[in-house]
Amino acid sequence: MTDAESERAGSGTAAWRTTSLKAEEVRRNIRTTCGFLDDATADQALGVVSSAFVRDGRILAPRATERAPGRPLPNRATLGEGDLAVVLVRRVGESALVTSEHAGWTATRSIGIVRAEPLIVRWLRIWLQTPTAKARIDEDVTAHVEPTISLDTLRHMPLPLPPPDVVTAYHRVFGLIEEMTSLYRETARKAVELADALHDDWVSSGPSRETRALAEVAQPKSGKGSERSLPPSPPGPVIDVIAPRDLYDLPVPHVQRFRLSGPADGGGIHPPGTLVLSTRSDGAHIAVLGRPATPLRSVVAVRPVENEDGWWLLHELRSRSGAIAELAQGQNGREISARALKGLEIAWPDWSTRAGFHKAAGPLHAAARLLVSKIATLHDLRDALLRDISAKAGVLREPIAEREERSAGVPRPRAPRTTPRGQDR
């Protein structure tokens, strides 16, 4: 039976043929390349995409509607609509389909570009998210400074290929999950932005501009310990643990659950409603605890003296993001402490004003929390589908052509791994 016949006869539960981008290059006219610009260029020029902008299956490059005057002529690093942009450095394996919005933009060297028929790029984007693919990437990651995979590794990586109708079905399902997630995230962000706007209006139009030091109206407390100090599998009950980077780039100040956990009897536990705050050079990053958690070093827990002041305090701290970052120490302003925050001057109107704001902002935050919960449910569904795909793919074997190539004495180069994947420097 030919490959085409096998694909036509296959089903969602039939065995999937193992291949690779290299094995499919001639038959399917696949082209793989990578960018050549330095990543720093993406922060200074229009029309440049670096790995930092490839997140959650999308290209999130800023100023997407602007075009640089005198656009350069197309080159090997020019993105085309329908290409797959794959991250090769640090967050290796993350990918995004290039839409018309970023067609014609130039990729940096941290981006691999796969140009092929829709069947291949759509499936590769899904497959790279599976546990099996991530484990294989982990095996092949090399690094001297940052975790990295080569374009050659991507081309040779075993790839299960389901029948076209199966790929189409998965592409539709994952696309709908991502669209719903994006819609929920944007709606939640708008709800919080509306509360921000209400706060700013009440501050500017209020009859009194009274201020207080943070320590007079709240109890800030510094977190302790580091990720490395957490036990790998804590016995007994566990609790959420918050590292500084868990608060960076949150679309809204609400999190369904944090990625780390520690023993529930470890101390330093803060109740729901506590604000947790970290900093870096771009400002303060804040979230409201929805369930008990404990912060690590460089995360400050801020508990209002009165629970009803929580929403006012949250938005007042959000409005003082730059001032808070200036209080931080260390490289890139990432070391913030309760001691540094205690003297921060914040706007603190009379009780009736704060109570009125609490009543107005509460429903907006309730809506945001509900949407964050829905996003978490969608993520669970996506992860379950990815595990199912890994199970259906079974044990991947190296494509026959590549086994023959190896037996003929043409080894695929692989540098020794020196840095664990995902470790920031």
Tokens of 147: 């975790």
**Residue whose structure tokens are 């803060």:** 270
Cross-strand partners of 418: none
Going by C-alpha positions, the residue among 349, 315, 313 that lies closest to residue 207 is 349
pLDDT tens digits, 62-74: 544 444 444 555 6
Going by C-alpha positions, the residue among 55, 119, 52, 48 that lies closest to residue 77 is 48
Mind listing the pLDDT tens digit of every residue in the chain (425 residues)? 444 444 443 444 457 999 999 999 888 889 999 888 887 766 666 788 888 889 888 898 654 444 444 455 567 789 999 999 999 998 899 999 999 999 999 899 999 999 999 999 999 999 999 999 999 998 888 766 788 889 999 999 999 999 999 999 999 999 999 999 999 999 999 999 999 999 999 998 866 678 999 999 999 999 999 998 888 877 788 999 999 999 998 999 999 989 999 988 877 899 999 999 999 999 999 999 999 999 999 999 999 999 999 999 999 999 999 999 999 998 788 999 999 999 999 999 999 999 999 999 999 999 999 999 999 999 999 999 999 999 999 877 666 555 555 555 545 544 433 333 333 33
**Residue whose structure tokens are 């595990």:** 387
Neighbours of 193 (CB within 10 A): 13
Neighbours of 170 (CB within 10 A): 20
The C-alpha atoms of residue 95 and residue 100 are separated, in whole angstroms, by 16
Domain-wise residue ranges, the chain: 211-348
Q: What is the pTM of this model?
A: 0.83
Residues 6+ apart with CB under 8 A from 86: 54, 93, 94, 95, 111, 112, 113, 114, 128, 154
pLDDT tens digits, 371-399: 999 999 999 999 999 999 999 998 776 66
Q: How many angstroms separate the Cα of 19 from the Cα of each of 25, 27, 400? A: 11, 12, 8
3-state secondary structure of 65: coil
Q: Architecture of domain 211-348 in CATH?
A: Alpha-Beta Complex (3.90)
